[in-house]
């Protein structure tokens, strides 16, 4: 089951889901389910080999539409399913794409309906995504790699593969990407490339400030908002580096991740990452203070009721430091800050923006969002205030990226 809620993200989109022969056909069933939940209309097209691994009945039940296998299917009034389907589609995704099917595409062969409609698609309007799946030796074979390069040169978006256990019992590259990853790739096809060529650094999650070897100070941030922003920025074409605090979350596909623990760790990572960045988004909940001294051994209670005396020092202000750096001051680095407040949201957000010296500050009520999948945001800048009503963090992340792109480019994204 997917850990990401894609509900409504593909509303109105028409997707042709192609299946060629391979053990990974079972993943296509989950992908179909996710596509339907996301609001897409899904037309499944299968090769005869695919029908050996999963039945058309299963895919018809999931998609709610008759599955097509043969180019001679007379259910199409004009007997031209390859034309009708591609003219109606917004995208075609083949998952799994076997070595044989990839070879067919590379050679321009059209012996089956699925290959035929890939060949007949309007290339300028209908993207073709290929999700390979095969044994590791087949994947590494020069013929397969040559075919993949040719298919990419011919205009298809050839996706990567996973590395791990395979159905044959061997281990290595060649596993098809997971349905959730494929959803991200498909959604990216429909996302305006408003940050193409931009280098974006994002911080997310809490920091952990150690008291002794087993205890420390942290906060309730889940990192969901920062991770959603990283995913949205990547979908918009940016080169994204995500500096993550102490959270156990899957790294968004296409994002470079740097894991840190403390505020000092995060500061070091940020300073290095923003040296050649264009945009810095400080979404992490960085601890304001840390213990002045780290106990070498666990601080134990002795039954006396005595509580150890702890002295704290202030952590560096990472956002303010970056915002006041020469590159940011020269306008070469656009800085975005986050403020998690508990009261007086507007007044505190305005004050924090002025204090930090950032062009855009994003504020929310912390207790109303920590750990949740939804949020409501208030954007504060020189133009005034913009409210983003409560929605999923994924939806808000895309809205925020659009707002940032508009400010960076000076035109509507």
DSSP letter at 68 equals: B
Tokens representing 156 are 């298809």
If we measure between CA atoms, which residue out of 127, 242, 238, 256 comes closest to residue 193?
238
Rounded Cα gap, residues 363 and 387, in angstroms: 10
How many CB atoms sit inside 10 A of residue 129's CB?
21
Residues 19, 28 contacting (CB under 8 angstroms): yes
Rounded Cα gap, residues 41 and 26, in angstroms: 20
Residues 390, 375 contacting (CB under 8 angstroms): yes
SS3 326: helix
How many CB atoms sit inside 10 A of residue 41's CB?
19
Rounded Cα gap, residues 360 and 407, in angstroms: 9
Tokens representing 412 are 């509507």
How many CB atoms sit inside 10 A of residue 169's CB?
7
Tokens representing 216 are 């420390």
If we measure between CA atoms, which residue out of 401, 103, 379 comes closest to residue 252?
401
Rounded Cα gap, residues 331 and 198, in angstroms: 14
If we measure between CA atoms, which residue out of 61, 10, 64 comes closest to residue 34?
10
DSSP letter at 67 equals: P
Catalytic residues: 168
């Amino acid at each position: 089951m997917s850990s990401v809620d894609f509900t409504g993200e593909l509303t109105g989109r028409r997707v042709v889901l192609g299946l060629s022969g391979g053990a990974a056909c079972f993943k296509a069933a989950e992908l179909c389910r996710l596509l339907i939940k996301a609001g897409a209309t899904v037309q499944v097209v299968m090769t005869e080999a695919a029908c050996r691994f999963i039945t058309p009945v299963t895919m018809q039940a999931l998609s709610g539409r008759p599955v097509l296998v043969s180019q001679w299917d007379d259910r199409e009034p004009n007997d031209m399913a390859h034309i009708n389907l591609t003219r109606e589609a917004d995208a075609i995704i083949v998952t799994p794409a076997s070595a044989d099917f990839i070879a067919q595409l590379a050679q321009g062969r059209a012996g089956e309906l699925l290959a035929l409609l890939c060949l007949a698609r309007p290339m300028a309007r209908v993207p073709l995504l290929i999700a390979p799946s095969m044994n590791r030796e087949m994947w590494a074979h020069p013929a397969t790699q040559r075919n993949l390069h040719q298919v990419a040169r011919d205009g298809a978006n050839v996706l990567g593969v996973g590395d791990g256990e395979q159905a044959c019992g061997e281990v290595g590259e060649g596993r098809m990407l997971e349905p959730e990853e494929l959803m991200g790739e498909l959604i990216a096809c429909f996302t305006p490339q408003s940050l193409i060529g931009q280098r974006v650094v994002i911080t997310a999650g809490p920091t952990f400030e150690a008291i002794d070897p087993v205890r420390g100070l942290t906060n309730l941030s889940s990192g969901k908002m920062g991770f959603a922003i990283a995913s949205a920025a990547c979908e918009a074409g940016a080169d994204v580096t995500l500096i993550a605090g102490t959270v156990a979350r899957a790294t968004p596909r296409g994002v470079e991740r740097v894991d840190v623990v403390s505020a000092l760790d995060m500061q070091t990572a940020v300073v290095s990452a923003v040296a050649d960045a264009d945009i810095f988004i400080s979404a992490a909940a960085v601890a304001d203070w840390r213990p002045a001294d780290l106990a070498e051994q666990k601080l134990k209670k002795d039954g006396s009721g005595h509580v150890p005396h702890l002295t704290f020092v202030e952590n560096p202000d990472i956002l303010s430091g970056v915002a006041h750096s020469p590159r940011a001051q020269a306008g070469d680095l656009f800085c975005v800050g986050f403020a998690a407040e508990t009261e007086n949201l507007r007044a505190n957000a305005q004050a924090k923006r002025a204090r930090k010296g950032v062009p855009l500050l994003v504020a929310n009520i912390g207790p109303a969002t920590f750990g949740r999948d939804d949020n409501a945001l208030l954007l504060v800048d020189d133009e005034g205030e913009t409210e983003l009503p409560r929605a999923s963090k994924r939806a808000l992340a895309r809205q925020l990226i659009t707002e940032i792109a508009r400010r960076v480019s000076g035109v509507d994204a």
